[in-house]
Structure 1
Amino acid sequence: MLTSTVCAAVSAAGLGIAALTAYRKRFLAATRIAAFALIPIGLVMTGVIDWVTSIVFKPTVWAGFGVLALSAVLFAIGRLAERRRGIPGRKERRAAAGSGAPAVAPTASAPSLGSAQKATKAPKATAAPGADVAPKDDFSDIEAILKKHGI
């Protein structure tokens, strides 16, 4: 009831300001002010204000927000601990499964956790034998171009 009265007063004041602005021949600004002034009374008439006040002033609603915040914090702590221990996340497990490496699901028991971590690490890629050896005459192309131009 009190919120309806306050919203009506705010709308009336806004419409008064819009009327004064229109009197000064600033019709575009007056139109915008009138549009903003009608929002509070429109919210009261649709029942949104009563809904908002019932949410804001109920302690159980705030307790619910607190529980949701606690849940988010616990989820973030769990993800942080998972990253620090080196347990692969969902993306890493999918990438390992897609590349042909054996995907090992993390187990719940603590002693076998270390073996699961070692099994999920991908083997190091090694170069083919002789691939890192540079050719003996790596400037032969450059020499051929210089000879062609007479240098």
Structure 2
Amino acid sequence: MLTSTVCAAVSAAGLGIALLTAYRKRFRSAARIAAWSLIPVGLVMTGIVDWVTDLVFKPTVWAGFGVLALSALLFMITRAADRRTGGTRKQRREAAAGERGAAVAPAASAPSLGPARTADRPKSRGTRGSGGGEEDFSDIEAILKKHGI
């Protein structure tokens, strides 16, 4: 009830200032002042002022804000602790991938290069796919040098 009276008084004062401004032939400013001065009355009429006063003057609401602040503080502390002890996300992912890779047998994790070469079958040197591993790396090195890497 008191907040409604205060808002009505503020609006009345604002409308009075708007009238004085209009009397001085500054109509745009008077209209702007009138618009601002009608806001408190509109808020009272919609019930927002009662909601805000209940929000501000109830101790349980402030206790709720305190609980939310404590929750946010705990999130920040645990995140900072994770950063100090666990490294970055990328490092943790790489470590987890390394642990998973160690569980797989080495033969299963090697890429398939086709049929295995035996000692009785000689290597062919004329084809690029079978004996040109060094050529592939030299091409890559040339490209990297070209780009300054």
State the distance in 2 between where 1:49 and 1:104 align. 59
Say which SS state the counterpart of residue 84 (structure 1) adopts.
helix
How far off its partner does 1:102 sit? 1.4
State the distance in 2 between where 1:53 and 1:42 align. 15
Aligned letter for 2:97? P
* Larger helix percent: 2
Counterpart contact for 1:15–1:34, Cα < 8 Å? yes
Counterpart contact for 1:18–1:31, Cα < 8 Å? yes
Aligned letter for 1:69? A
State the distance in 2 between where 1:41 and 1:93 align. 58
Aligned letter for 1:35? A
Aligned letter for 1:58? K
Say which SS state the counterpart of residue 78 (structure 2) adopts.
helix
Paired position in structure 2 for 1:73: 73
For structure 1, the residue ranges without an aligned partner over 5 or more in a row are 106-127, 136-151
Say which SS state the counterpart of residue 7 (structure 2) adopts.
helix
Q: TM-score, normalised by structure 2?
A: 0.62
State the distance in 1 between where 2:93 and 2:19 align. 65
For residues 1-151 of structure 1, what are the structure 2 equivalents within 5 Å?
1-89=1-89, 92=90, 96=94, 102=97, 131=141
State the distance in 1 between where 2:20 and 2:99 align. 74
Counterpart contact for 2:86–2:92, Cα < 8 Å? no
Aligned letter for 2:31? T
State the distance in 1 between where 2:81 and 2:57 align. 37
State the distance in 1 between where 2:6 and 2:99 align. 63
State the distance in 2 between where 1:55 and 1:94 align. 44
* Count of equivalent residues: 105
How far off its partner does 1:95 sit? 6.6
Q: TM-score, normalised by structure 1?
A: 0.61
RMSD: 2.9
State the distance in 2 between where 1:93 and 1:45 align. 58
How far off its partner does 1:86 sit? 2.3
Percent of pairs identical after alignment?
69
The 3 A distance-change label for structure 1 pair 94 and 21 is farther
The 3 A distance-change label for structure 1 pair 27 and 104 is farther
For structure 2, the residue ranges without an aligned partner over 5 or more in a row are 101-136
